[in-house]
Structure 1
């Protein structure tokens, strides 16, 4: 398929919005390499697929062609900083955007930064501002107490398919408000985005051996990310179930492709 440059940029932007980052990169490959708009879109696409070094190179191209105060540049800078777990840098970019003109997306991402800093009250204030701006598309996250969240997890565990129950032997279920830096692999932070809903750590059942001296495997659920991802309490309960099943599938040894094939992506 052949695009004119503007058409290609629009098509790539649509692909990114639809979660088709690889397709977006194919489209952008035909564009002018020095075009800063192309570079910004490529940065976002590489962030989406976890290739942060490539994202950084594309962002360098974008910086060379845009004014330092460009709002879209600040947005993409913030997204890469978040993906690399440079939370304070991301917060700085987003605070500038919100100060210039508050919008729902910037407020929500800034709230994520505050959540990661354990400023939960500050995060909730920002989410309330976003809701005021757009009540339909920025609903207030459903909130559960720690006890209520535990009860939902317990219910999901009781109703697990038999094939999954064995995967939980010697596997800890850990509920945290948010992910934290100690869970992030320094050599590849893209594997653990700050808005991740759940995480499996340790060896899968296919990898373990009698000589495996690692800490017991663990499944983490991140309560505030799950709440932010959900539209209401019913949806939250479903997202907890899906996320728990997804991480149990990793415990069984499935990679992302296999998890997606099981309908748990």
Structure 2
């Protein structure tokens, strides 16, 4: 799958976020990168930033949070295009949930790990 096709899948997954939730996302940018850090070669996505639930009045003038979806590990893990579509959707939802303050344990309980 080309990088362009993969980026479209990420965009499509973001478009599936309910509008009321999407409107609440604040100061966050989403990126596609080919590979994660070599110390975590199987990582499918990453959220870097300060979750909305931890922001206070001190939170101003900061760089946007980052959500990164990794193309290489996702493609290696999936057997078909349908698998890639489903995994990208799960990864995007998982990382956006971190932006909203959910931790990995909560996401696991909800089936989004």
TM-score bin, normalised by smaller chain: 0.7 to 0.9
Unaligned 5+ residue runs, structure 2?
A: none
Q: Secondary structure at the match of 2:52?
A: coil
Greater C-alpha radius of gyration: 1
Mapped pair 1:223 → 2:80:
no
Distance change in 2, residues 1:163/1:194 (3 Å)? farther
Runs of 4+ displaced beyond 6 Å: none
Q: Residue in 2 aligned with 1:259?
A: 107
Structure 1 residue 152 displacement after superposition = 1.1
> How many residues end up aligned between the 2 structures?
112
TM-score (norm 1): 0.40
**2: CA distance between counterparts of 1:164 and 1:261?**
20
Q: Which has the higher helix share?
A: 1
Q: Secondary structure at the match of 2:22?
A: helix
Unaligned 5+ residue runs, structure 1?
A: 1-143, 182-188
Higher relative contact order (CA 8 A, sep 6+): 2
Structure 1 residue 215 displacement after superposition = 2.4
Structure 1 residue 164 displacement after superposition = 3.4
TM-score (norm 2): 0.88
**C-alpha RMSD over aligned residues:** 1.8
Mapped pair 1:158 → 2:11:
no
Structure 1 residue 163 displacement after superposition = 5.0
